[in-house]
Structure 1
């Protein structure tokens, strides 16, 4: 299970993830997956956990990010890391985009194909 070697922005469909949140998958194989997530102002990435390691880069926007019991304001150029099984979530204050990388890949994201 893996993506094609190249992914082109205009060829990748946006998938609805939640109210005011859309995502598109970029490269992946069994070990890693990159996902672009677009948020409208006020959108909430609900608190959740998963068995994957996650690193995220803030491409644009301003967010209140909660990891475990700690909440920090993050903005363009910032990033964060979430260990497996740790509760985390985000509130979008200004519209923005997060670039998520998961290891191993998020198989559940493949089930949302259009």
Structure 2
């Protein structure tokens, strides 16, 4: 499998993801448009977010920071979080267990 062979899905406005699913994990490679927002939400999945390119404003459990290339954020299950792309961004997320709603 090659990432270039995976079709991109717009999961929410401005968030274009290439999604890979295994039995227990989902990996998402996002291309995010400038100013695209993810409203505050939480989910049962653990999540690790890695900023590969751009600046991403992220709020985790009420604390807001701006993250850039190389930054990694650990998001525990059921913790509220939201985000906004301050520039065009490339993000990578890993979820466990699998994000069934992204299939």
- CA distance in 2 between counterparts of 1:20 and 1:103 reads 23
The 5 Å alignment of 1:4-83 reads 7-26=1-20, 28-83=21-76
Normalised to the residue count of structure 2, the TM-score between the two structures is: 0.94
Gaps spanning 5+ residues in structure 2: where? none
Q: Distance in 2 between matches of 1:31 and 1:16?
A: 22
- Alignment length, in residue pairs? 103
Of the two structures, which has the highest relative contact order with CA contacts closer than 8 Å and spacing of 6 or more?
A: 2
**Which has the greater radius of gyration?**
1
Unmatched 5+ stretches in structure 1 = 1-6
What's the CA shift string for 1:67-108, capped at 9, x where partnerless? 111011100110101111111111100101110000111011
Aligned structure 1 segments of 4 or more residues deviating by more than 6 angstroms: none
Quote the RMSD (CA, aligned, Å): 1.0
